[in-house]
A and B are shown apart, each in its own frame.
Chain A
Amino acid sequence: MTHRFRDLLALEPLTADELRFLLDQSKPFQEIQKHPLKKLATLRGKTVALAFFENSTRTRISFGTAASRLGADTMNLQAEASSIKKGETLLDTAFNLNAMKPDCLVMRHAASGAADYVAQHLDTPVVNAGDGTHEHPSQGLLDALTIGDRLGTIENLNVTILGDILHSRVARSNIHLLGKFGCRFTLCGPSMWVPRELEKIAPGVPIRCVYKMEEALENAHVIIMLRVQTERLNDPPLSANDYILLYQLNAERLKRAHRDAIVLHPGPINRGIEITPDVADGPQSCVLEQVTNGVAVRMAILYLVISGASESGTHPALEAKAKESANASD
């Protein structure tokens, strides 16, 4: 079953079938990451505009790498250098970038709904690389890919998300994806970051908010840590020491989770605040796999929104592999 995506703005509106398709399309690109020669020609001649209105290092590099491994060129807009500082509206900036005829606009913006808003005004596909505190679809996908690799399934798992859920676009994308595969969620953190309203953001998905970490970890298969944004510690003014006391993930607490539980973190990590170094670097941690999978997922996203699924039904990564082996036999 092939699905087509005009844009990728959020995971919430996607069906389980569409999400499964996106994950399946990512898998062959995971293989590419292991090759000595990682570059495909799938999107040769295409241009991906990377419009990061909010600072980002890893997501921007990951999308850039994904584009380049597909053979596409990129153009970059960065917040500091942009005309936003000169008072241009978001839409004007988007129209100007679009006038340079990219085949896809990847954007990150501090305002929730910004990608949605731009997409409504552009014919060019828009990929949301994180909008405010709304969604971060590619992160949700790469997390699911990582979980599937480690645990063999993404279905019917107990998923515990820890930290500042209210302000986390990652948590929302995780919930909207994994929730469609029967996962149950426990959200845990300081009460002001884990309002009860969260239990109702995805109707039909079992979500509970708890405020004791020991309870939240009980029987968890997947633990998703969120970065404690130190600037958020002022809003509300929370004591960092209190946070560590109540919510830091350490080896002792991790024992409460399922024996095979895995730990994810979207990064960047604040070692010693939300997570201890031994856990971050331990065998249950998937942090670096997440980063590697991020490139594969973003290759799949760019490939699908720019060229749609291959008409022949052959995945470009598999096609490349076939060619490679043909060449090898020469």
Chain B
Amino acid sequence: MLVIKNGRMLDPATNTDAPREILIDGEKIVEVAQPGSVRAAPGAEIFDATGLIVAPGFIDLHAHLREPGQESSETIETGTRAAAQGGFTAVCCMPNTKPVNDNASVTRFILDRAKATGSVRVWPIGAASLESKGEAISEIAGMKEAGIVAVSDDGKPIATAKLAQQVMDYCRSLGLTVIEHAEDVSLAAGAVMREGVTSTRLGLRGMPAAAEAVCVARDVQLAELTGAHLHIAHLSAKASLEQVRWAKSRKLRVSCEVTPHHFTLIDEDVTYDSRFKMNPPLAAREDRKALIEGLADGTVDAIATDHAPHEPALKDVEFDRAPFGILGFETALALALEQLVHAGRISLMRMVELFTTGPARVLGVERKIWPGQAADLTIFSFDRPWTFHVGESASKSRNSPFDGRKFKGGAVGTIVAGRIVHRIQ
């Protein structure tokens, strides 16, 4: 038995923001009650959350754990340990592993490894097409039975409009969300950052915002055609956000996520340092402004990290040759607090929603602090000062542009299925 005492419980599902005690027995929450009223068995473990916020377990809709196949950059063990440190209790891992997670065997392998070595829940996302090549539809029903929570060809878009239509149609019948990495690959070909004054000054090849928005427009049309639930991954451009806003105004089942780096940094921050290279690339000043508005007004459904570890041997090269992507787990909450809450742009409750009920709705699952629910909780500080040192990261990789950044607030305790997987004393 575990009792969380003296904390301020914030639960968007029940719209609760009040002091509560939570009693956990085994893997479940058994009681949520007024302070001092929980009667735990003698000898029950106590988590004193004085001065801390107790929220439902954070879900990351978008991560790359690199196992199987690229274990020199990350494994399920190291990735989920980093996730736990960042306060995440569940991470959705993208299928672009080697081999690609396009069949039930790979899905089962990932889940077995997660069970054996993982610190937090691992929810695999299956490939939409075989090897994510955009030719034939993958073994989606088989993967669903094995445990995938959504499908995506992440790393690239579903190659053609025709295939995207078919995948959406099929996934609607299976009850799965289609997560789209929206990118017109011809507009993005060869580009290493966002097109603009900075790319022109640095002489780096840029892709326009339209590289993303053109594909979002395509997919929104197909979501209307098929009635599928379409979720736009790592949305970065104002123009794309407007497409999502339009879709929502038409009551289409369209949602989207935004990464912490896109609401924190912009293309003007890019130097020849490959830690600023990710896809979609850092966007323009006005895009960031629009994303923050979308996070505040409900157009954006979730904050997702796009945690994309790359070992130094791959990432420490000239900018043009470096792979896209940066670490995300350990800085996501702190960046959300810094950029959104401390900056006065959204409420703390809204931020928690973006990490919990928001992503849960995208996947069609429930997330609340309630008796009978899984005991997944994220306990965090609103203002504890700390510094992120990437050298001390649990991840196997070091590709973060936020190394050395000073933060106020972050995860203090992460509880998964009643077990404390991360705790700062």
A 179-203 contacts with B by CB, 8 A = 195, 197-198, 200-202
Contacts of A113 in B (CB 8 A): 202-204, 271-272, 318-319
Contacts of A197 in B (CB 8 A): 195-197, 199-200
- Decide if A114 touches B318 in the complex (CB within 8 Å): yes
Bound CA span A131–B196, Å: 19
- Decide if B272 touches A117 in the complex (CB within 8 Å): yes
Bound CA span A167–B204, Å: 9
Bound CA span A102–B321, Å: 26
- Decide if B318 touches A111 in the complex (CB within 8 Å): yes
Bound CA span A133–B200, Å: 9
- Decide if A134 touches B203 in the complex (CB within 8 Å): yes
- Decide if A200 touches B319 in the complex (CB within 8 Å): no
Decide if B17 is an interface residue (CB 8 Å cutoff).
no
* A134 in contact with B321 given A113-B272, A116-B272, A117-B272 (CB within 8 Å): no
- Decide if B197 touches A111 in the complex (CB within 8 Å): no
- Interface core residue of B196, B271, B272, B316 (most chain A CB under 10 Å): B272
* A200 in contact with B203 given A111-B321, A117-B318, A117-B319 (CB within 8 Å): no
One of A90, A134, A135 near B317 (C-beta < 8 A): A90
Bound CA span A16–B201, Å: 19
Decide if A284 is an interface residue (CB 8 Å cutoff).
no
- Decide if A112 touches B202 in the complex (CB within 8 Å): yes
Chain A 222-245: CB-based contact to B (< 8 A → 1; otherwise 0): 000000000000000000000000
Bound CA span A22–B311, Å: 41
Chain B 171-212: CB-based contact to A (< 8 A → 1; otherwise 0): 000000000000000000000000111011111110000000
- Decide if A91 touches B272 in the complex (CB within 8 Å): no
- Decide if A112 touches B320 in the complex (CB within 8 Å): yes
- Decide if A200 touches B197 in the complex (CB within 8 Å): yes
Decide if A60 is an interface residue (CB 8 Å cutoff).
no
- Decide if A133 touches B203 in the complex (CB within 8 Å): yes
- Decide if A132 touches B200 in the complex (CB within 8 Å): no
Contacts of B320 in A (CB 8 A): 110-112, 132
Chain B 281-314: CB-based contact to A (< 8 A → 1; otherwise 0): 0000000000000000000000000000000010
Contacts of B271 in A (CB 8 A): 113
Bound CA span A246–B327, Å: 49
Decide if A109 is an interface residue (CB 8 Å cutoff).
yes
A 113-158 contacts with B by CB, 8 A = 113-114, 116-117, 131-135
- The residue on A at minimum CB distance from B205 is A133
Min distance, Cβ A23 to any Cβ of chain B, angstroms: 23
Contacts of B313 in A (CB 8 A): 89
- Decide if B317 touches A91 in the complex (CB within 8 Å): yes
- Decide if A195 touches B200 in the complex (CB within 8 Å): yes
Min distance, Cβ A235 to any Cβ of chain B, angstroms: 9
Contacts of A201 in B (CB 8 A): 197, 200-201
- The residue on A at minimum CB distance from B320 is A111
- The size class of the interface chain A forms with chain B is 20 to 34
- The residue on B at minimum CB distance from A131 is B203
Bound CA span A195–B208, Å: 12
- Decide if B202 touches A134 in the complex (CB within 8 Å): yes
B 347-393 contacts with A by CB, 8 A = none
* A112 in contact with B204 given A89-B317, A91-B316, A117-B318 (CB within 8 Å): yes
Bound CA span A113–B276, Å: 13
Bound CA span A117–B197, Å: 21
Min distance, Cβ A74 to any Cβ of chain B, angstroms: 24
- Interface core residue of B197, B202, B205, B313 (most chain A CB under 10 Å): B202
Bound CA span A58–B316, Å: 31
- The residue on A at minimum CB distance from B189 is A235
- The residue on B at minimum CB distance from A135 is B203
Min distance, Cβ B236 to any Cβ of chain A, angstroms: 18
Contacts of A135 in B (CB 8 A): 203
Decide if A320 is an interface residue (CB 8 Å cutoff).
no
- The residue on A at minimum CB distance from B318 is A111
Decide if A108 is an interface residue (CB 8 Å cutoff).
no
Contacts of B318 in A (CB 8 A): 90, 109, 111, 113-114, 117
Decide if A172 is an interface residue (CB 8 Å cutoff).
yes
A 81-95 contacts with B by CB, 8 A = 89-91
- The residue on B at minimum CB distance from A121 is B316
Min distance, Cβ A31 to any Cβ of chain B, angstroms: 34
* A111 in contact with B200 given A116-B272, A117-B272 (CB within 8 Å): no
- Decide if B319 touches A111 in the complex (CB within 8 Å): yes
Min distance, Cβ B292 to any Cβ of chain A, angstroms: 24
- The residue on A at minimum CB distance from B200 is A197
Bound CA span A135–B204, Å: 11
- Decide if A132 touches B203 in the complex (CB within 8 Å): yes
Contacts of A116 in B (CB 8 A): 272
- The residue on A at minimum CB distance from B321 is A111
Min distance, Cβ A168 to any Cβ of chain B, angstroms: 9
Bound CA span A91–B318, Å: 9
Bound CA span A12–B203, Å: 13
Contacts of B199 in A (CB 8 A): 197
Bound CA span A135–B205, Å: 14
Contacts of B196 in A (CB 8 A): 197
Decide if A166 is an interface residue (CB 8 Å cutoff).
yes
Min distance, Cβ A112 to any Cβ of chain B, angstroms: 4
Contacts of A221 in B (CB 8 A): none
Contacts of A133 in B (CB 8 A): 203-205
Contacts of B316 in A (CB 8 A): 89, 91
Decide if A169 is an interface residue (CB 8 Å cutoff).
yes
Bound CA span A317–B174, Å: 81
- Decide if A166 touches B200 in the complex (CB within 8 Å): yes
Bound CA span A200–B271, Å: 17
Min distance, Cβ B20 to any Cβ of chain A, angstroms: 51
Bound CA span A301–B199, Å: 28
Bound CA span A202–B317, Å: 27
- The residue on B at minimum CB distance from A53 is B318
Chain A 302-326: CB-based contact to B (< 8 A → 1; otherwise 0): 0000000000000000000000000
Contacts of B321 in A (CB 8 A): 90, 111
**Closest 10 interchain pairs by CB?**
A113-B272, A134-B203, A133-B203, A112-B203, A111-B318, A111-B320, A197-B200, A201-B201, A200-B197, A114-B318
What are 10 A-B residue pairs whose CB atoms fall within 8 Å in the complex? A12-B201, A89-B313, A91-B317, A112-B319, A113-B271, A113-B318, A133-B204, A134-B203, A134-B204, A202-B201
Supply 20 further A-B pairs (C-beta < 8 A) apart from A111-B318, A117-B272, A201-B197.
Answer: A89-B316, A109-B318, A110-B320, A111-B319, A111-B320, A112-B203, A112-B204, A113-B203, A113-B204, A113-B272, A113-B318, A117-B318, A133-B204, A134-B204, A197-B197, A197-B199, A197-B200, A200-B197, A200-B200, A201-B201
